[in-house]
Structure formats: C-alpha cells, structure tokens
Amino acid sequence: MGEDGNDAVGWLVIVGLVLLAVALLTDSDSDSKPAASKPAVTGPPWEKRVEIARKLLKYCIDNAETGEEYYQEAERRLATGMGFIADKSIERACVYGHWRALLYLAVIRAINRKPDEAMRAFDKAVVKVNPAGIEPDDFRPKMFGMALAWLEAHSWQVKVWEDSIGRGHPGLSGAQLRAKAIEAIIETIPPLKP
C-alpha cells in the first residue's frame, strides 16, 4: 500500500468518526424530553425498607431500661467531649432497640459516609417509633440537632464536611456553612415515607 493507501485509510477513519458523532448526537436529541427531577438519594422501595427494618429489630434485646441507660451515658460522654466512648455507648443502646440511639447512629453513619448503615439504623428507628413504618415529621429536625452536637464534639469531622460543602458554595462561611454541611449529611438518608 503506498501513500495513497494510507490517505484512504485516514479518510475512512475520519468519516467513520464523523458519522459516529452525528449518530450519537441525533440519537440523544430525538428522544430528548424534559428530565423528571429525581430525589437526590434513592434507596429500596418503602415496603422493602420497612420489612427489612422489622426483621432487624427482632434481633434487638427488648430491655428499654438498659437501652435508656446506655443512651444517657452516651449523651453525658458526648457533652464532655468523649466522642469515641459516646459512639460505643450509642451502639450498645442500639442493641436494645433504643429509638433515639438508632436515630443518632444513623446520623453518625451518615457523617462517616456510610449511607447503607445510616439508612438501616434510620429505618429501624422509624419502625420502632411507628410500627407502620412512616417517618415521623419531627425526625429530620431531631437529626439536625444530633448532627450538630456530634460535629461539635468531633471538630475534625466538621472540617471535612465544611471543606466539602465549601467547594460547592464558596460564598458561605461560619454558621451558614455548618448548617449547609449538616443539611447535606441528613439528605444522605432517604426519607421513609410511602
């Protein structure tokens, strides 16, 4: 093949790429419809999440007093800046099916970027409070307060989240940035409503 052969192959490659580009553009334009807005976070269907939460709650030890003791211990430790020990107390309270501890655990797992664990803990808290499996209206505000308290005791996690949010919202600072970070944390847990 001489020089003419190389030119022919080159032209064929160029024509092929142009045709591919045109095909891709016309294919995507012909079916273009306004995109339906999807929720930021999706999870399994509501019924499946409730069913899983009910099954997981069966493994909890049914002793409300012990669960409350561990939860109170966790709150005391958190208030005194002993976050690691508070985390362990919250986990122990969750073993007893304490709903506030489960809600707190959901927030902690969301802060630690473990969305599946956060969703499971959240779902168990919802089913514990409302066996029908419908999220109470006051859960999100409670979670906001829990996230704020947790981040106050764990300043390094505040920095990580605020830096992450600050990149997308350069005009925010201080309390606005922290509030936006907490909002982003809570939004990683999909609502549990039919």
CA–CA separation, 126 and 108 (whole Å): 16
Name the stretches of the chain with pLDDT < 50.
28-40
Q: What is the pTM of this model?
A: 0.73
Residue 113: CB atoms within 10 A of its CB come to: 13
DSSP letter assigned to residue 43: -
User: Both tokens of residue 66?
Assistant: 């012990």
Query: What is the predicted pLDDT for the residue at 175?
Result: 84
Residue corresponding to tokens 């709903």: 99
User: Both tokens of residue 157?
Assistant: 């996690």
Query: What is the predicted pLDDT for the residue at 68?
Result: 94
CA–CA separation, 37 and 5 (whole Å): 52
Query: What is the predicted pLDDT for the residue at 42?
Result: 56
